[in-house]
Amino acid sequence: MPEVLKAPLVVEFPFTRSLGPVQSAFLTGLRERVVLGVKTGDGRTLVPPVEYDPVTAEEIRDLVEVAPTGTVTTWAWNHEPRRGQPLGTPFAWVLVRLDGADTALLHALDAPGPEAVHTGMRVRIRWAGERVGAITDIACFEPYDGESAEPGGHDGTFEDAVHGIVAHARLDYTYSPGRAQTAYINALSSQRTFGERCPSCRKVYVPPRGACPTCGVATSEQVEVGPGGTVTTFCIVNIKAKNLDIEVPYVYAHIALDGAGLALHGRIGGIPYDQVRMGLRVEPVWSEGARYPDHYRPTGEPDADYDTYKELL
């Protein structure tokens, strides 16, 4: 088996999320160095606060300020911080019950080592220098052996409240396409096109994905198809795609390569867009060093008879 193809794949997305009224007040509060909790029906104070009572599912809106000091309820020493985590140096993950709250908040604790951390230890918030209305406005917690801070009496009403957050996410992958597609891509780079035949229904899949979706069995018999093919159907593209250096209008077509059991997509060139037709015979045009055809152009053969490709639209 030839070596498996691999390529880096980065999935990156900024989610813009709107906030409910309780979340809005809590995150705006962090910006102003105020920590708010919310009262539940049974009289508990939840920090971080949520929009609905976790027990009764009732809407809850009664905000109360709690202290920036609190007690560690559990912890875990993280000696190798990972991307995106609150601190770049070894730290403890902690759940902290702030003074005045009945539930605990997850964050990081900046401590010299695991021997300096224990459940029940007293900590306080270290505020981020630049605060925008996000959970990261708390830079981390730090050990604190002073008195409990007295919470102010903030009611959660702010000028210029934040109503949304932008949550950035990035995940890194190494993509490998599997056996069938690896063989297909490797063959393409030598300007040949291979499909795979279903052992049951005999259909030749191009590009092959390793399975016949009709029969649910593995395909493995390699079958060279093309290079010529027939336009089975097409559309005229009139809107220029971003970062695409092709003049519009152009034709994008379904092309059934000779011997293939289904059509693949490709651009048609070398002919005015309004002369492309179903049945047009085409062949691939390769640009220097490319791993796949740049486009397909007419071969000059007579058009294919409809009956030869009517199942391949």
Residues 143-172 within binding reach of another protein (CB under 8 A)? 165, 167, 169, 171-172
From the list 128, 213, 196, the residue with the least C-alpha distance to 107 is: 128
Nearer to another protein, 85 or 189 (CB): 85
Figure out which of the listed residues 28, 103, 193, 230 binds another protein, where binding follows CB under 8 A.
103
User: Quick check: 184 binds another protein (CB under 8 A)?
Assistant: no
Residues 25-54 within binding reach of another protein (CB under 8 A)? 27, 46-48, 50, 54
**Beta carbons within 8 Å of 210's beta carbon, 6+ residues apart:** 178, 179, 180, 181, 196, 218, 219
Count Cβ atoms below 10 Å from residue 152 Cβ, excluding itself.
12
d(CA 101, CA 230): 71
User: Quick check: 114 binds another protein (CB under 8 A)?
Assistant: yes
What element of type H or E holds 31? helix 21-31
d(CA 52, CA 42): 13
User: Quick check: 78 binds another protein (CB under 8 A)?
Assistant: yes
Figure out which of the listed residues 150, 152, 218, 221 binds another protein, where binding follows CB under 8 A.
218
Count Cβ atoms below 10 Å from residue 300 Cβ, excluding itself.
7
Q: Which stretch binds another protein (CB under 8 A): 70-78, 224-232, 266-274, 281-289?
A: 70-78
Do residues 125 and 68 touch, judged by C-beta distance below 8 A? yes
Q: Which stretch binds another protein (CB under 8 A): 77-85, 184-192, 254-262, 293-301?
A: 77-85
User: Quick check: 97 binds another protein (CB under 8 A)?
Assistant: yes
d(CA 30, CA 125): 10
Interface residues toward another protein, by CB under 8 A: 1, 4, 6, 9, 11, 15, 17, 19, 23, 27, 46-48, 50, 54, 73-79, 82-86, 93-95, 97, 103-108, 114, 119, 134-136, 165, 167, 169, 171-182, 209-218
